[in-house]
Amino acid sequence: MRGRIWIFAALVSAALALHLAVLSVKVAQNSEDTIRAHVALSTSALRSQLELLDARLSPRAVAAVPELIEATRPPAGAGPARGGQRAGRHRLAAGEGGAAPR
């Protein structure tokens, strides 16, 4: 009787070990596929950003690619840029003329 219990326990342990090995391989493959998909997506996003930074890229080419248009938009919470206002104040302070401040 004791021998049968040990044989049964050994068979159950072997089945569980086999199942764990198969499951581990499947999880590893799924994880690798997910990482490859993320790397491909990141690579394409980086290429789009580099194309934006390229000074030779014409405005027509940017207008033709919707992903580039979306990438150039400021974040949702960002306010309007105020660099032009500062430049105007510096020009006025330097006496270069221009419109009077309001």
Position 56 in a domain: yes
Residue 93 inside a domain? The answer is no
CA angle 88, 93, 97 (to 5 degrees): 65
Judge whether 30 lies within some domain. Answer: yes
Where in the sequence is the domain holding 28, given as residue range(s)? Answer: 2-73
- Number of helices (H), then strands (E), in the chain: 4, 0
Longest alpha-carbon distance in the chain:
105
Length, in residues, of the chain: 102
* CA–CA distance, 10 with 5 (Å, rounded to integer): 9
Question: Structural domain tally of the chain?
Answer: 1
pLDDT in tens, 41-50: 999 888 887 7
In this prediction, residue 76 carries a pLDDT of 67
Q: Is residue 96 part of a domain?
A: no
Q: 0.85 cut: is pTM over it?
A: no
